[in-house]
Structure 1
Amino acid sequence: MTFAGIIPPLCTPFHDDFSVDTGSLRRTIRFLLGAGVHGVFVLGSSGEGAFLPDAHRRAVVETAVDEVAGRVPVLVGCIDMTTLRVAEHVAAAEAAGADAVVVTAPYYTRTHVAEVERHFRLLHERTALPLFAYDIPVAVHTKLDCDMLLRLAADGVIAGLKDSSGDEAGFRHVLLGRHDRGLDGFVVFTGSELVTDAALAMGADGAVPGLANIDPHGYVAIFDHVRDGSVEAARKEQERLVRLFAITSVASQTRMGGSSAALGAFKAAMRMRGVIDNAVLAPPQVPLNGEELAGIQDKLVEAGLL
């Protein structure tokens, strides 16, 4: 499998009883593949992977692998608090037919860079799948060290990086270090919806933007424009998507957390576009109210998506 391009982190649709809506999940995958995405990533942050019990995770992975049917890579988030717990998720993803796994630093306990490095090395020993490091300090409270990442890449422990740190300078240091050390096989993705064009121009191999659940065509267009050297066209498309991303701040964070506001907006927009049947969030996240949903609908109309 080739890992490059636009790989959306799929939202996980639920029924009212919080069971996985596999029908809507299959429809989401068909919608994304029809837009020309280059892979799918399930059970990441947008997929609420950390909220889900093992049976739910299994249903998501098995449904995705079956629906994709080998057309593009299926990456699976294996996110948990400790190495041994993550190792079980990695084994389940491998057994279900995943093409790669995506792993954060351990969380809950405070970790040292030596412990984070050991975490990745032990997981690499336990799977034949490509292992991607996921840098998301806002969620796990640990920023992945640049030198550690490059060392793990040089040793063949990690195949790539999904950088959702928001540290653009650090992201550039990783790209520069990859070049300087000749790590051509080490794949680097941005997780940002807002600077995809800039990251690709810097040399990133692709992007994993949550907003692509709503407008995958826009992100595929950015990737194509940058690849073709059409910088201005990429910039204009990116600016349109930046405006669309404002849906994530429609809900008031005086009554809910940022995850509820952002993922609630993503799912509401997907439901309004007919991609999924229900905008239910995994508990304890809080649902959006009618006024907030109307605001999201207005922004979809402004973006030409409704």
Structure 2
Amino acid sequence: MAPALRSADLRGTWGTLLLPLHADDTIDWDRLAHALDVLVGAGLDGVYAHGTAGEFHTLGEEEYDRINELVADRCGRHRVPFQIGASHMSAQTCLDRVHRARAFAPSAVQVTLPDWLPLSRTEVIRFLVEIASAANPVPLVLYNPPHAKTQVAADSYAAIRREVPSLIGIKVAGGDAAWYAAMREHAGDLAIFVPGHRLATGLRHGAAGSYSNVAALSPTGAVAWQRMMVEDSGRGLDVERRIQRFLADHVDPLARQGFGNPALDKFLAHLGDWAEIGTRVRWPYASVAESAAERLRPIVRDRLPELFLSG
């Protein structure tokens, strides 16, 4: 059983479980278990399942439960904190997933807001209150990405915190210094998690950690980089600038071609070559060719050697 997290405990670099797929879009469970073993052994602050990169929106309910069982078993054996995403476009399916996720006693449950129609501020709170009741005693993390139809404004978090005290953290895109100032004013002690490639800057402004795309590229490298941010913030920021330049040169063009975030994160994982995940994403979404990542392997190691010191 993973210890339930408090907002003060929710920190650091967390790695996500990606889905290795067969040619018929079924999950390769052996490769999934191996990838999870690598994440568990990488020294990350925690592991989570069913974010956008984990293609939660494509999972059948039996697949969802089987992944949860695997994550709970592996992380429990090695005493690694883990979070289970219960997100779904339907509030009713999300609620059902929360009930089932709670049975695995994760450190926290992640949810998105229902996504077919935008929610009012009152509806956001109504949704989270019910979800919190279903998850109890497991705490909640709200995942509010930039593409969500309902964007939670900074000044909403004070009311949310009053009504949903079991909400301990948020997963958001971050922003500039003014955004962080507004979050400090309204979000209080909520743990703010920002994208991995912005973590060094985020920590300087008060962010707590990252559900990390850098960990998708190199789990052990993301851990080493976080350690560097603490020991030598200048070096940490230098690595951040080079990560962002690499992404701008080689990943942003793929996004502009229409590849979605799951495809891009699998591209990063194949580029990093730390597990046999592949780049295939589920129908109807487009996958980046594996050869595109393989061609860049010497380039990423040359530009970002700090992320690949172990091999």
RMSD: 2.5
User: Which residue of 62, 67, 72 corresponds with 1:65?
Assistant: 72
User: Which residue of 207, 221, 232 corresponds with 2:224?
Assistant: 221
Q: Which amino acid aligns with 1:126?
A: A
Query: TM-score of the superposition, structure 1-length normalised?
Result: 0.85
State whether residues 81 and 106 of structure 1, in contact with CA within 8 Å, keep that contact through their aligned partners in structure 2. yes
- Shift of residue 266, structure 1, vs aligned partner: 2.6
User: Which residue of 137, 156, 171 corresponds with 1:162?
Assistant: 171
- Shift of residue 38, structure 1, vs aligned partner: 0.4
SS of equivalent residue, structure 2 residue 89: coil
Greater CA deviation, 169-178 or 210-219? 169-178
Residues 99-132 of structure 1: CA distance to partner in whole angstroms, max 9, x if unpaired? 2111112101122111111111111111211111
User: Which residue of 15, 22, 30 corresponds with 2:29?
Assistant: 22
Structure 1 distance, partners of 2:74, 2:199, is 27
State whether residues 142 and 167 of structure 2, in contact with CA within 8 Å, keep that contact through their aligned partners in structure 1. yes
Q: Which amino acid aligns with 1:202?
A: H
Q: Which amino acid aligns with 1:38?
A: D
Q: Which amino acid aligns with 1:67?
A: R
- Shift of residue 148, structure 1, vs aligned partner: 2.4
User: Which residue of 199, 206, 225 corresponds with 2:202?
Assistant: 199
- Shift of residue 11, structure 1, vs aligned partner: 1.7
- Shift of residue 63, structure 1, vs aligned partner: 1.1
- State the identity as a percent: 21
Q: Which amino acid aligns with 2:20?
A: P
Residues 222-243 of structure 1: CA distance to partner in whole angstroms, max 9, x if unpaired? 3323334x21121122234324
Structure 2 distance, partners of 1:258, 1:172, is 31
- Shift of residue 285, structure 1, vs aligned partner: 1.4
Structure 2 distance, partners of 1:154, 1:217, is 38
SS of equivalent residue, structure 1 residue 126: helix
- Shift of residue 294, structure 1, vs aligned partner: 4.5
Q: Does 1:118 align with 2:133?
A: no
State whether residues 75 and 102 of structure 1, in contact with CA within 8 Å, keep that contact through their aligned partners in structure 2. yes
Partner of 1:130: 139
- Shift of residue 4, structure 1, vs aligned partner: 1.3
- Shift of residue 94, structure 1, vs aligned partner: 1.2
For structure 1, the residue ranges without an aligned partner over 5 or more in a row are: none
Query: TM-score of the superposition, structure 2-length normalised?
Result: 0.84
Partner of 1:82: 90
Relative to structure 1, the CA distance from residue 18 to residue 171 in structure 2 (aligned partners, 3 Å threshold; closer, same or farther) is: farther
Residues 153-182 of structure 1: CA distance to partner in whole angstroms, max 9, x if unpaired? 244141111113657643442234345xxx
User: Which residue of 188, 192, 209 corresponds with 1:188?
Assistant: 192
Q: Does 1:279 align with 2:279?
A: yes
State whether residues 200 and 229 of structure 2, in contact with CA within 8 Å, keep that contact through their aligned partners in structure 1. yes
Relative to structure 1, the CA distance from residue 252 to residue 118 in structure 2 (aligned partners, 3 Å threshold; closer, same or farther) is: closer
- Shift of residue 67, structure 1, vs aligned partner: 1.2
Partner of 1:144: 152
Partner of 2:289: 289
Structure 2 distance, partners of 1:201, 1:296, is 31
State whether residues 13 and 25 of structure 1, in contact with CA within 8 Å, keep that contact through their aligned partners in structure 2. yes
SS of equivalent residue, structure 2 residue 92: helix
- Shift of residue 291, structure 1, vs aligned partner: 5.7
User: Which residue of 233, 236, 249 corresponds with 1:234?
Assistant: 236
Structure 2 distance, partners of 1:258, 1:269, is 16
State whether residues 264 and 279 of structure 1, in contact with CA within 8 Å, keep that contact through their aligned partners in structure 2. yes
SS of equivalent residue, structure 1 residue 284: coil
User: Which residue of 7, 30, 33 corresponds with 2:14?
Assistant: 7
Partner of 1:248: 251
Relative to structure 1, the CA distance from residue 244 to residue 121 in structure 2 (aligned partners, 3 Å threshold; closer, same or farther) is: same
Structure 2 distance, partners of 1:260, 1:188, is 22
State whether residues 180 and 205 of structure 2, in contact with CA within 8 Å, keep that contact through their aligned partners in structure 1. no
Partner of 2:6: none
